[in-house]
Amino acid sequence: MSAPIVRLHQRQRVWVKDRARFKAMMMSRQSGKTYSSTLELVDDCLDHELNGGKRRWVILSRGERQAREAIEEGVKAHLSQYEAGFKALEIPYEGMEDKALEVLLPGGSRITGLPANPDTARGFTANVLLDEFGFHVDSKKIWGALFPVISRNDLLLRVISTPNGKSNKFYEIMTAGNMEAELRASGHVQAGVWSLHFCDIYQAVAGGLDRNIDELRAGLNDEDLWRQEFELQWLDEASAWLDYDLINAVENEKAGARDGYQGGICYVGVDIGRRNDLFVIWVAELVGDVFWTREIIARKRISFAEQDHLLDDVLRHYRVGRVCMDQTGMGEKPVEDAKRRYGEYLIEGVLFTGAAKQMLATQGKQKFEDRKIRIPMGDPAVRSDLHALKRLTTPTGAPRFDADRDDGGHADRAWACFLALHAGSTPYQEYAYHSARPGAERRSGDHFDDDDFDDGRDIRTTAGFNARRGIW
């Protein structure tokens, strides 16, 4: 019986075998950067234990879910394979003791996964793996807190990520020494104290990774995302209205799930699309003074009847204070129909004039800068739409907001998000009323019996400022 074999493609093998004190790697999505990096951590711990020592490693990930995945799908998977190999070779091994975010080895070595922030970066003395470091919130503050911790000569530092714009510490590390062209060509260079590694999707597949590049590219269906996530290009952020640092700062693992709804007042933005663009509904619940994204619905080429059905479902499920809808062009009829069903107190149509788009974009960006919104973590479609919106200047000097149109839309999720935030910008009043039967209109001197009401209950609802609606 033979021991299990860990299969790595060529660039992974070069990375794992490199035992430089400081090393960093930029690797394509789907290429196994966390898998190979956690293998090095396990190998390092076992090497020390076989020689009577022990090691301490900490994996700092962008969130708790990513930290758990690094432990479960990386560290524990590798240790399980080693245990099977030791058993097959009849080598005594007591096995590991594992917890949710930590693994203890028999010789006392320990590997811990943590969500990254400046405080956790200060709280230990250990070897460190910074996982997807380009996406860490406050990456420069984390770096400032972390580097003194690993100043001891026997401690190692590993940094891995895909690109995420140019305004973070990962970009500075990977472009150290002005050797980027050589790095991309060769896959490995020494830049001062840093051992830098590079592996795009083409190099990974050439080195043995089993992936269909054409199928991946067609499935992703977004050239900017392909260039960043798979070809590892630094996208120009000069004209991006929301840069990646702003987007990173408001991502949260608990955002974006309908079952996270806490029963509070929600605000809804609807961007209307029928043929080329997406139809998007963005639902944000106001918790304290923060807008938590609860649901993002995006559909393409669906009928207006289907759009109405999706909006109806949202209004049934959530306590909605206000809905702002794109009324431009084909949006006229959906807005008119929604007002007929729910009333002008709840539905507001917004014409996307230049002034209106500037107001929505400015108001929305302010919420991002103040961190008063939470969006789903790591959703490539949401990130792409938010980053795609650009502020351009017309020949007359006037600002214009636009985005390149592709099969994934026209920054439609961004506009739906801004509409939801605009919906939440108007104070609401809460009041009690009896809901009348559909079509019932109150006239002076009318008398209503109990049968004129749906169920005789007082219903609490919300409305925009100075709204008037219902039977008083």
In contact, 253 and 276? CB cutoff 8 Å: no
The answer, yes or no, to whether residue 462 has pLDDT greater than 50, is no
Residue 137 has a pLDDT of 83
pLDDT in tens, 403-441: 765 544 568 999 999 999 999 987 555 544 444 444 444
Distance, in Å, from the CA atom of 8 to the CA atom of 6, rounded to the nearest integer, reads 6
Backbone angles phi and psi of 285, in degrees to 5: -95, 130
Q: Is the pLDDT of residue 468 over 50?
A: no
Q: 157: Cβ–Cβ under 8 A, 6 or more apart, which residues? A: 21, 22, 23, 127, 128, 130, 150
Percent of the chain with pLDDT over 70: 81
pLDDT interval class at 129 (50, 70, 90): very high
- Dihedral angle computed from the Cα positions of residues 123, 125, 128 and 130, in that order, rounded to the nearest 10 degrees: 20
The CATH label, of 3.30.420.240, 3.30.230.10, 3.40.630.10, 3.40.50.300, for the domain at 244-426 is 3.30.420.240
Q: How confident is the model at residue 460 (pLDDT cuts 50, 70, 90)?
A: very low
Q: Output the pLDDT for position 236.
A: 63
Average pLDDT, rounded, for the chain: 83
Q: Provide mean pLDDT across the span 98-121.
A: 85
Domain ranges of the chain: 10-228, 244-426, 429-464
pLDDT at site 88: 56
CA-nearest of 458, 471, 438, 454 to 342 is 438
pLDDT of residue 320: 96
Q: Bigger pLDDT: 467 or 139? A: 139
- E-strand ranges in 54-164 read 56-61, 97-98, 102-104, 110-115, 127-131, 157-161
Q: State the chain's maximal CA–CA distance in angstroms.
A: 95
pLDDT at 301 over 50: yes
**Residue 197 has what pLDDT?**
97
More confident site: 22 or 406:
22
- Whether the predicted pLDDT of 454 surpasses 60: no
CA distance 174 to 300: 38
> Do the two domains 10-228 and 244-426 of this chain adopt the same fold?
no
- Name residues whose C-beta falls within 8 Å of residue 28's C-beta, 6 or more positions apart in sequence: 162, 199, 200, 201, 204, 229, 230, 231, 232
pLDDT of residue 140: 87
pLDDT digits (tens, 9 = 90+) for 154-202: 899 999 999 987 878 999 999 988 899 999 999 999 999 999 999 999 9
pTM of the predicted structure, to 2 decimals: 0.66
E-assigned strand segments in 316-420? 319-326, 347-350, 373-376, 390-393, 399-402
Task: Give the residues across from 161 on adjacent strands.
Answer: 26
Residue 455 or residue 67, greater confidence = 67
DSSP reduced 3-state for 186: helix
- pLDDT tens figures, 216-228: 999 887 787 888 8
Count of CB atoms within 10 A of residue 48's CB? 17
Give yes or no for residue 4 having a pLDDT over 60.
Answer: no
Report residue 462 as tokens.
């919300």
Is CATH 1.10.3470.10 correct for 10-228?
A: no
Strand blocks (E) in 256-378:
265-271, 278-287, 290-300, 319-326, 347-350, 373-376
